[in-house]
Structure formats: structure tokens, C-alpha cells
């Protein structure tokens, strides 16, 4: 019995040591950087999902046959309709900047979208993969499954997500978010839409630490704006909880970050 206790305490000791050393040499400046990196990675995936949302109006306009065409200059697409009715859409970006997004990212490469159903049908599923696709030179990997739950609710699942940044760092991501449309329903354009977002992701961040990302209060995103404007996100990096408050709805890139009881107001996000 005594031996068991000894090993138990020894195990507990090393477990505690491991937990403490997880982000032992991270200071709050580095933790704030971890927040910016998480928001940036989230923004990259949301940005490219917006591009594929943009394509859905094309699917509605042309429900049959094959179609080739171009839109907005350097974003071109090909739609192939399969015998089972599903569609394979190949979108090719060449130094493409979306004018609907102020100060938008530059995209290059190919986004493949396998589409089952149409936006107006009960079943509408898009499976998105990438071929040498980059945002601002940073390469995007993963399989994203976007599933319609109801006319206003969509789930977005990221599997094997990874961003290879130009500086050699990587960010990995897996998990699911739920997106609920709260405005812009009356127009076909997606660029006046407003969404509430919940969900959670895990992965390894650019500093090499494991993280978990969990929305505590729904985040609000205007499609035409780069940053969430309200909501609360909790980010756990190593053994430390970081709480990010996106604000009161004002369109800005400022967030309040609370780390271990200390709040840093109006921290500017990068993109």
C-alpha cells in the first residue's frame, strides 16, 4: 500500500511538473501574441469559407450541366456535375484580392469544393480541400466540411487543418464551429450577412504549444468586416486560460485580453 502511494505521489509530482512547464517560459506578451495568432488562423479559415459561400450563388443560378467561367478577375471557377448530381467546383486564385473585404488578403492556388445538394435544398454539404493554396503566401491545408443544418444554421468542421507560415512556423487546427445567420437574409449577396459563431478547436500554435479554443459567448462577424465585433473566446495555452472579449459591437480590431486575472484593454489584433 505504501509503495502504491509512493508511486502515486511521484506520478502526481511529475504530472504537475509537466503541466507547469507546458508554457513555463511564456510571458503575457507572448500569450497576447498567441491570441493574435489564433484570431489570425481563425480569420484565414473564415475568409476562405466566405469565398466558397460566394460560389453558392453560382450553383443556384446554374443547377444543371457543366459551366466554366470567371468572376472578379483573377478568381476563376469550373463546375463539373457528376452522374449522382453532386458537383465538383474548382476555384483557381491568381493574386486574387476580394474587393468585398476591405484590405483583403491575397490568395493564390486552388480550392476544390465537392458539393452535395444546393443552397436551397434540405441537404447542402460542401467538402473543401486545397491544392497549393496560399493566403498572403501562407499555405493552407486541411479538409473542411460545411453542412447546412437549417436555412440559417451551418456547421463548419475542420479536419487536419494546418497553416504553414512564410516564417517557417505552423499552426494546426481541428474542431467544429456553428454559424448562425442573424442578418442579411433578404438579399442573395453574402456580403451583407451577419453571423453568430460558437464552437471549439484544438491544435498546436505557432509557438509550439498545444491550445484549445472555445467560444464562451457567441462571436459576431459581419461578412464585410475582418474582425469579430463582439463575443467572448477562451483560449487555453499550456496550463493557462486566456479570455478574449471582442467588445460591444464597434467595428474595430481591438480586444480586451484577460490572463490570470490581469486585463489588458484594447489590444490591437493583426491579420
Q: Is 190 left (phi over 0), alpha (psi -120 to 50) or beta?
A: alpha
Cβ pair 201, 175 in contact under 8 A: yes
Q: Which is nearer to Ca ion, 61 or 248 (CB)?
A: 61
Stretch that binds Ca ion, among 176-184, 202-210, 215-223, 233-241 (CB under 5 A): 176-184
Nearer to Ca ion among residue 38 and residue 53 (C-beta): 53
Least distance (Å) between residue 93 CB and Ca ion:
23
Q: Which residues of 172-206 are buried (b: 16+ CB within 10 A; e: fewer)?
A: bbebebbbebeebeeeeebbebbbbbbbebebebb
Q: In angstroms, what is the minimal distance from the CB of 246 to Ca ion?
A: 22
For residue 23, give the DSSP letter.
T
* Least distance (Å) between residue 89 CB and Ca ion: 20
Q: What is the DSSP letter of 269?
A: P
C-alpha cell at 256: 480586451
Contact flag: residue 250 with Ca ion (CB under 5 A): no
Q: How far apart are CA 101 and CA 117, in angstroms?
A: 28
Nearer to Ca ion, 119 or 175 (CB): 119
Least distance from C-beta 45 to Ca ion, angstroms? Answer: 21
- Least spacing, CB of residue 183 vs Ca ion, in Å: 8
If the CB atoms of residues 11 and 188 are measured against Ca ion, the closer one turns out to be 188
243 — phi, psi (to 5°)?
A: -110, 130
> By CB under 5 A, how many residues form the interface with Ca ion?
4
List the interface residues with Ca ion, window 177-216 (CB under 5 A). 184, 187, 192-193
If DSSP codes are grouped into helix, strand and coil, which group holds residue 231? strand
Q: Kindly list the residues in this chain that would bind Ca ion in the complex (CB under 5 A).
A: 184, 187, 192-193
Amino acid at each position: 500500500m505504501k509503495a502504491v502511494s509512493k508511486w502515486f505521489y511521484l506520478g502526481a509530482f511529475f504530472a504537475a511538473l509537466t503541466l507547469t512547464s507546458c508554457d513555463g517560459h511564456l510571458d503575457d506578451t507572448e500569450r497576447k501574441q498567441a491570441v493574435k495568432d489564433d484570431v489570425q488562423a481563425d480569420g484565414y479559415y473564415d475568409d476562405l469559407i466566405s469565398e466558397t459561400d460566394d460560389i453558392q450563388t453560382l450553383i443556384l443560378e446554374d443547377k444543371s450541366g457543366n459551366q466554366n467561367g470567371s468572376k472578379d478577375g483573377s478568381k476563376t471557377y469550373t463546375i463539373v456535375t457528376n452522374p449522382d448530381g453532386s458537383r465538383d467546383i474548382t476555384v483557381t486564385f491568381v493574386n486574387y484580392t476580394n474587393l468585398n473585404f476591405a484590405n483583403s488578403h491575397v490568395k493564390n492556388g486552388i480550392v476544390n469544393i465537392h458539393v452535395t445538394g444546393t443552397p436551397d435544398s434540405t441537404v447542402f454539404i460542401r467538402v473543401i480541400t486545397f491544392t497549393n493554396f496560399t493566403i498572403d503566401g501562407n499555405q493552407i491545408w486541411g479538409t473542411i466540411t460545411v453542412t447546412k443544418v437549417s436555412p440559417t444554421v451551418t456547421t463548419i468542421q475542420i479536419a487536419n487543418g494546418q497553416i504553414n507560415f512564410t516564417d517557417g512556423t505552423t499552426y494546426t487546427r481541428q474542431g467544429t464551429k456553428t454559424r448562425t445567420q442573424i442578418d442579411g437574409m433578404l438579399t442573395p449577396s453574402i456580403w451583407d450577412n451577419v453571423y453568430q459563431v460558437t464552437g471549439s478547436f484544438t491544435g498546436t500554435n505557432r509557438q509550439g504549444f498545444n491550445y484549445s479554443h472555445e467560444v464562451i459567448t457567441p462571436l459576431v462577424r459581419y461578412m464585410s468586416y475582418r474582425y469579430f465585433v463582439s463575443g467572448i473566446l477562451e483560449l487555453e495555452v499550456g496550463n493557462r486560460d486566456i479570455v478574449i472579449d471582442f467588445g460591444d459591437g464597434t467595428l474595430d480590431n481591438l480586444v480586451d485580453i484577460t490572463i490570470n486575472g490581469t486585463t489588458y484593454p484594447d489590444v490591437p489584433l493583426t491579420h
